[in-house]
Structure formats: C-alpha cells, structure tokens
A = this chain, B = another copy of it.
Amino acid sequence: MREIEFWYEFASTYSYPAAMRIAKKAADAGVAVRWRPFLLGPIFGAQGWNDSPFNIYPAKGKNMWRDLERICAAENIPLKQPPYRFPQNGLKAARIALAGESTGWTPDFTRAVYAANFAGQKDIADDAVLGGILRGLDLDPAAVVAAANAPENKERLKAQTEEAIARGVYGAPSFTVGDELFWGNDRLEHALSWAKTGGIA
C-alpha cells in the first residue's frame, strides 16, 4: 500500500485540521499514513525564532486564526482558541504519541490532544490532562508516561526531529512521500494524490 508520512507538532495550529482530516482522506485515497510527531522548537530556534512566527508577526498571526476559523467551520471541526499562552508546550504529548506507535494508539491519542488544545481549551502540558486523555483510550497513564519518559524514547523523539530537518521539514504540518515534501494542511490532498499517482492533479 502507498504511504504518506504525516509530520506534526502539537503546538501547531494548522496541524489540528490536518490531524482531524487525514485518516478519512487517506482511507478514501487508499493510502496508508505513518504518524510522525516531532518538535518545531529546535527548527524555529535554528531560524532565530524563540516564539511562534504567528506571535512574532502579528498581522500573519491575526489572519492565521481567522483563516483557521473559516477552515474549521467548513470542515465541521470545533475550534476554540486556547486561553493559555500560544503556542502550548507539546513536548510531553509528543513523547507519549511516539511511545504509542508500536501498539497503534498514536492516531487516537493525537486527535484527542489536538481536540483538547484547540477545542477543549486545555493545557496539553498538564499531566492531569494527558492522563485523562490516556484513560479515555483505556490506557494506563502511569505505564504510558514511564515508557514516554524512558531515555530511549526521548532519544527517539530527538532523532525523529533530526530526521524531519534532514528531509527538509521547516514547519508543521508537513507530509512526505519519499523525497517529496508538502507543507501545510492545504497540501494534504496534494500529498495523497502524489502517493497515489505521482502528480497533484
């Protein structure tokens, strides 16, 4: 089966509709998805940004929230701007998402964290919030968090972020099909088409 890799960061706004849309879109296209959480912080830091570009450039940030409102309304995806500081810290959630890959609950966990962040107005760096999400998936928070915080899992997340950089990723969400890189929620359809046909039209 053809595959796309879905690179996402839990703080990233446009990764939210991508995470909510990708499973059905990919199934409809007959394309498999590999869910690849990574961290934008090191990438933005290397570009000289110590904050989200949506905060650094206010006109861009203002329009991003309005654009996201329009997109989520059209897709029937609930959206409530986080009352906490934006962007939130997605490190713990990314470690947990990665720890779930081998047992298959990464997509469900990912969607639940995005919903908590961008619809539930929850702090996704809060252990209680993450524990609640894990319990909602019938997982044992203590066991999962221990696996997430194991040194080899922490190293794996670092390696995943380094792989993203090596493959040209500079923002989230991104999609890769082999060497072909697509950036942005609005490129999901292009990536799926590329995986299927080697073209976007």
Interface residues of A (CB under 8 A from B): 47, 57, 59-60, 62-63, 66-67, 70-71, 73-75, 165, 168-171, 180-184, 186-187, 190, 194, 199-201
Contacts and interface: CB of A to CB of B under 8 A. Distances in A.
Contact of A47 (B57, B169, B190): B57
A67 to B, nearest CB: 7
A74 B187 CA distance: 13
Contact of A71 (B60, B62, B168, B200): B200
Given A47-B57, A57-B47, A186-B186, A168 B74 contact: no
Contacts of A168: 59, 62-63
Given A67-B187, A190-B70, A60 B201 contact: no
B181 A70 contact: no
A193 B184 CA distance: 21
Copies in the complex: 2
Given A47-B57, A57-B47, A67-B187, A74 B181 contact: no
A201 to B, nearest CB: 3
Contacts of A73: 199-201
A63 B164 CA distance: 13
A75 B171 contact: no
Contacts of A71: 200
B170 A63 contact: yes
Contacts of A200: 70-71, 73-74
A168 B65 CA distance: 13
A70 B62 CA distance: 29
Given A67-B187, A74-B201, A186-B186, 7 more contacts: A59-B168, A60-B170, A66-B181, A70-B200, A71-B200, A73-B201, A75-B201
Contacts of A60: 170-171
Given A47-B57, A190-B70, A63 B183 contact: yes
B170 A57 contact: yes
